[in-house]
Amino acid sequence: MPAIMPWVIGNWKMNPETPTAQQQLTQQLIDHIAEHLASGAALVNLNLAVAPTLLHLLTVQQQLQQAKSAVQVIAQDVSRFAGTGAYTGDVSAQLLANAGIGMTLIGHSERRSLYGEDATVLREKLQAAINAGLKVVFCVGETLTEREAGQAEQVVLQQLDEVFDCIDLQHWQQNLMVAYEPVWAIGTGKTASPQDAESMHAAIRAGLKNYHSSLVDLPILYGGSVKPDNAASLAACANINGALVGGASLDADSFIKIARAFSQDRKAG
Ligand code: 13P
C-alpha cells in the first residue's frame, strides 16, 4: 500500500459565535503554524483543512489566502439539489465550486440524526458534489446501541454500501475520503480506543478493497473527541490516515498539536 498523505480537518460546526471570533480563530491558526515553521518543526506531508460555517467560508478562505496559508477551507454540508434554483436556505455544490470551495463533508452523524438525512438524501448529495467537481469526505459511524449490540462493523459497512454505486469508481478513487466517527464518541470526551478505531478502519479498508483493489489507499480519517493527548496514539495506527476534529479545532493550539501528531515530521520537534 503506498503511503497515504494524512488529512487533519477542523470541523467548526456552528461555532464560533461572532465574525470577530471567526477571524481571531483563523488568525490564531495562521500564527501557530508560523510559530511551528519558525521553530523548524514543519508540518510536512500533511493536508490541513478547516470547515467553518457557510456564513464564514469565504472570509476564512480569504484570510488564509492572504496569509499564503496552505490550510484549505471546506464546507460542512451541501445541498442535495444541483445548480441554482428555488431552494430556500440551500447552497449547492455548484455554488460552492464557483466560489472556490473545493471540498465538502457529507453524511456527518449530526446531519443524519438531527436532519433526518437518509441514504436517499446522501446519494443525491454525493452525486451533486461529484458532478460539480467537489471532493467529498463521506462520514460513517455507529451509535452506542449498535456498538453494544455487536453491530458496529455491519452498520458502518452498510452506510458505505448504501451509497457506493451512486458515483463512479473513478470518482471514489480520485475524489473521496471516508471519515469514521463513532456517534458515541462525538463531543462526549470518549474516544474509541486506538485498537477499536484501528480495527474499524481496517474493516472499512477491507470493505473498500472488496469494491475494487484501487480503493485500498483511500484516506480514512478518525473523528470523535480527538484531542492533543490522544492524537499520537491514533496517528500511530496503520489504517488511520488523519483526523476530523470538532471541539479541539476551536482552539488553534490544540488543533495544531493534533496536526503535529499526524505530521510525518512529528519526531523532529
Ligand atoms: P468532537 O471532536 O467534538 O468529538 O467532534 C467530532 C466531529 O463530529 C467532527 O466532525
Report whether 92 contacts 128 (CB < 8 A). Answer: yes
pLDDT band for position 121 (50/70/90)?
Answer: very high
Could you confirm whether domain 7-37+46-80+88-264 is CATH 3.60.150.10?
A: no
Residue 208 exposure: Cα atoms within 13 Å on the Cβ side: 22
For 233, phi then psi, to 5°, come to -70, -30
Residue-wise burial string across 113-139, b where 16 or more C-beta atoms lie within 10 A, e elsewhere: eeeebeeebbbbbbbbbbebebbbbbb
Alpha-carbon distance values, 155 to 22, 85, 88, 111, 180 (Å): 36, 35, 33, 17, 12
Label residue 265 by pLDDT band (50, 70, 90).
low
pLDDT tens per residue across span 31-42: 999 888 777 777
Whether 141 contacts 147, CB under 8 Å = no
Taking the CA of residue 223 as reference, the ligand 1 atom at the shortest distance is 6
- Which residues, 6 or more positions from 50, have their beta carbon under 8 angstroms from its beta carbon? 9, 10, 12, 26, 29, 60, 71, 72, 73, 74, 249
| Contact (CB, 8 A) for 82 and 89 | no
How far does residue 247's CA lie from ligand 1's centre (Å)?
A: 6
Q: Is 125 annotated as a binding residue?
A: no
Element (H, E) at 125: helix 119-131
pLDDT at 5: 94
Please give the pLDDT value at position 2.
58
Pairing of β 7-11 and β 47-51: parallel
Alpha carbons 232 and 54: distance in angstroms, whole number = 31
Look at 41 and 175; give whichever has higher pLDDT.
Answer: 175
- To the query of whether residue 32 is one of the catalytic residues in this protein, the response is no
Phi, psi of 239 (to 5 degrees): -100, 5
Please tell me whether 225 is known to bind a ligand. Answer: yes
Q: What is the DSSP string of 214-235?
A: GGGG--EEEESS--HHHHHHHH
CB atoms under 10 Å from CB of 173, counted, come to 13
Q: How far is ligand 1, taken at its centre, from the CA of residue 85, in Å?
A: 32
Has residue 91 got a pLDDT over 50? yes
- Residue 267's pLDDT is 43
- Residue 268: the pLDDT is 39
Among the listed residues 117, 146, 153, 181, the single catalytic one is: 181
CA dist 83 and 67 (Å) reads 31
Say if CB 23 and CB 59 are below 8 A apart: yes
Burial class (CB in 10 A: 0-12, 13-18, 19+), 225: buried
Cβ atoms within 10 A of the Cβ of 86, count?
6
Q: How confident is the model at residue 102 (pLDDT cuts 50, 70, 90)?
A: very high
Annotated catalytic residue: which of 108, 142, 146, 201?
108
Interval 76-88 mean pLDDT: 98
Domain ranges of the chain: 7-37+46-80+88-264
Residue nearest to atom 2 of ligand 1 (CA): 246
Identify the band that residue 269 occupies on the pLDDT scale cut at 50, 70 and 90: very low
Ligand 1, CB cutoff 6 Å, lining residues: 11, 108, 181, 186-187, 223-226, 244-248
Give the pLDDT confidence of 181-198 residue by residue, as tens digits: 999 999 888 888 999 999
pTM: 0.96
The sign one gets for the Cα dihedral 8, 248, 154, 112 is: negative
